[in-house]
């Protein structure tokens, strides 16, 4: 995968710096266990407090699983549209489900897509194009007005934020515009498939139904941002609350219950869904840029490495292990795609 090669080429250092302190939300607690073999690659999740909607990574047709709070499948919403690589899920207040078909491990897609599934099960495809080349994107946030924001997965911890430059067309494509960046610092939270590198890779996004709080997650941590005015870009400029999610095998799913409880989940049959009570309430209210996780607003340029604590040099052995680990993980993902 190109992003593995790119990482090897610049592996003299990683973005690092102070990690925003958590405002002491509750520790993650098990909700239920994902035992259904049909959901072995949990990647996206939403909740209305009573039911959960879940998707797998990838897939050869549109498939959304409706779950009870016991993780048991109640029904499956299907449609024949064949996506390329679905990675995240959002739900708007009218009950519409939005599947983010934006995965691109090989950085070779000419277009990505949002798949709009109506409450009646009809799927509308909205193709999108980036203004600056291909990106692997696993996080989708819908604001309260229904505007989608895509946040890329970047091995250097500086994810890019994109949104459509105009109304979504079908089939499109609609041009995306870059409106900011989010810098993620490394943490020591254990978990994920690629070691400490996983703590900077954005693997999912979520929003409260009223848009007042948003969240991003990596393989190891969640970052919760206050958005009292519903402005996603303004929210991403605030200091987030960092919530460690240790021990998740391959954590990619994140969602909010209506009461502000955070839900997280991992790929793998037999993995738990976990809750973090009070996560939304604990979100920082400061409008100051974060020290470890920051975003530039629309039209602003990305911050340089000097904005944080600089680029610490990694030991050669650590670099080698990280590159090998990422290469093996990427190869495994590509093999799974090839089998579809």
**Spatial contact of 168 and 126, defined as CB atoms under 8 Å apart:** yes
What is the pLDDT at residue 25?
76
pTM of the model: 0.81
What is the pLDDT at residue 58?
83
The Cα 258–Cα 243 span in angstroms is 18
What is the pLDDT at residue 59?
82
Using DSSP, state whether 113 is helix, strand or coil: strand
What is the pLDDT at residue 219?
98
Residues in the chain where the model's pLDDT stays below 50: 1-23, 285-324, 328, 331, 334-340
DSSP 201: -
- Cα distances (angstroms) measured from residue 217 to each of 167, 237, 256, 321, 326: 27, 16, 12, 23, 18
What is the pLDDT at residue 157?
87
Q: Read out DSSP for 247-302?
A: T-SSEEEEEE-TTS-EEEEESSTTEEEEEETTTTTT-B---SPPSSSEE--TTPPP
What is the pLDDT at residue 315?
36
What is the pLDDT at residue 284?
52
**Spatial contact of 252 and 40, defined as CB atoms under 8 Å apart:** no
What is the pLDDT at residue 329?
53
Other C-beta atoms within 10 Å of 130: how many? 23
């Amino acid at each position: 995968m190109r992003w593995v090669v790119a990482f090897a080429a610049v592996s003299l250092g990683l973005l690092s710096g102070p990690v925003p302190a958590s405002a002491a939300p509750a520790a993650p607690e098990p909700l239920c266990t994902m035992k259904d073999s049909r959901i072995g690659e949990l990647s996206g999740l939403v909740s209305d407090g009573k039911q959960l909607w879940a998707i797998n990574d990838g897939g050869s047709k549109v498939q959304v699983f409706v779950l009870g709070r016991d993780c048991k499948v109640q029904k499956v919403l299907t449609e024949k549209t064949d996506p390329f690589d679905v990675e995240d899920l959002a739900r708007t207040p009218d009950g519409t489900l939005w599947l983010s078909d934006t995965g691109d491990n090989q950085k070779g897609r000419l277009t990505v897509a949002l798949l709009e599934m109506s409450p009646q099960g009809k799927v509308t495809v909205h193709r999108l194009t980036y203004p600056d080349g291909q990106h692997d994107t696993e996080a989708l946030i819908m604001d309260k007005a229904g505007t989608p924001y895509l946040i890329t997965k970047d091995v250097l911890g500086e994810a890019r934020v994109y949104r459509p430059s105009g109304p979504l067309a079908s089939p499109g494509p609609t041009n995306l515009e870059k409106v900011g960046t989010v810098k993620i610092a490394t943490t020591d939270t254990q978990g994920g498939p690629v070691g400490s590198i996983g703590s900077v890779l954005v693997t999912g996004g979520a929003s409260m139904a009223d848009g007042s709080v948003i969240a991003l997650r990596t393989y190891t941590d969640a970052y919760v941002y206050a958005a009292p005015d519903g402005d996603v870009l303004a929210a991403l400029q605030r200091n987030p609350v960092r919530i460690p999610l240790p021990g998740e095998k391959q954590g990619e799913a994140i969602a909010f219950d209506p009461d502000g409880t955070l839900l997280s989940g991992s790929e793998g049959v037999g993995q738990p869904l976990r809750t973090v009570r009070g996560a939304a309430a604990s979100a920082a209210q400061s409008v100051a840029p974060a020290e470890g996780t920051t975003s530039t607003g629309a039209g602003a340029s990305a911050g340089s490495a000097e904005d944080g604590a600089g680029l610490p040099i990694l030991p050669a052995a650590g670099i080698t292990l990280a590159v090998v680990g990422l290469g093996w993980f990427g190869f495994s993902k590509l093999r799974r795609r090839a089998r579809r």
